[in-house]
Structure 1
Amino acid sequence: MNKVIARYGLAVIAVLFSLVPAYFILITPIYLAWCFIWACCFVFLVINRSLLVRGFLFLTSSIALGLLGVAYAKAISSEYLWAAEFISQIIVLVGAGVGGNFIAVYFLNR
């Protein structure tokens, strides 16, 4: 059990360190929370399920968070819409790439 918790923690910490530059782009706390929630979605990659489930969970959560972030920025007419769209594109591309890779490996190993 401790090994699993350590894997979860390391996944979240690694993503948070990679999102440190986003702090300088995204000023408001809601955007920082948006990036933090996405960092927590990396836990889906280390759960003890099949590769297919892990891939779909990460893929769908990344795409949903990316779309919600841009929708929120457009709804409040933020002056940082360009930054929200930029971070959203990164979230969607990483989510699609990593999630798609897990799904592809699942079907290749079948």
Structure 2
Amino acid sequence: MRRYELNIAAFGEGGHFRTHIDINDKSIVQNMRVVTAVYYFFSEPKQFEGGELIMYPAAFLPGLDEPVALSPENNSLVVFSSVAPHSVAPVRSSNLAFKDYRFSVNCWLIN
């Protein structure tokens, strides 16, 4: 039976995520995250810079030898394998009100 995990993230000044993969335990095949989906939303006009999703080279993606930075676009969805290494670049802003943060809904399909 497949299931989902959800979380909401709010990134203000300096908010970021170090390089990681989204599987919860490499040794457990059952109940492992297999697909990651990130939905972006924020107030417009956008009041922050940065916050890019950075996808890193992986052995299962031949030909990709440089990181790729994907800028968050309002009302957009990015979907990728949960074993793909990625990070979130720091958000840059000055005196952001909470309503102007970089928001995302993160969803994982569990095997």
Q: TM-score, normalised by structure 1?
A: 0.29
Structure with the larger helix share? 1
The structure in which a higher percent of residues are strand is 2
